[in-house]
Amino acid sequence: MSKELFEQLPDVLDAKHLSEALSISKSGAYALMNQKGFPVLKIGGRKLVTKPDLIVWIRDHTGREVKL
């Protein structure tokens, strides 16, 4: 994941932004957001993830640092 991509992402990501950030399909992003342990923020009927929580999740699950 490139530094530039994360800089351009909003601070709170929906499934579309998550799919772009991780280079996965939108349905893959929804599946990830429904996984137990994924840092989802539920607001009404929407599922969102904050950029800092996503970065921590990536680090914890891959062992790779993501720099902003």
> Could you please report the per-residue DSSP string of 15-49?
HHHHHHHHT--HHHHHHHHTSTTS--EEETTEEEE
Does pLDDT of 3 surpass 90?
A: no
What is the mean pLDDT of the segment spanning 36-51?
A: 95
pLDDT on residue 8: 83
Cα dihedral sign for 22, 18, 30, 24? negative
pLDDT on residue 1: 47
The CB density around residue 42, as the number of other CB atoms within 10 Å, is 9
For the chain, the domains span 3-62
Q: What does pTM read for this prediction?
A: 0.80
For residue 3, how many C-alpha atoms fall within 13 Å in the half-sphere facing its CB? 3
Class assignment of domain 3-62? mainly alpha
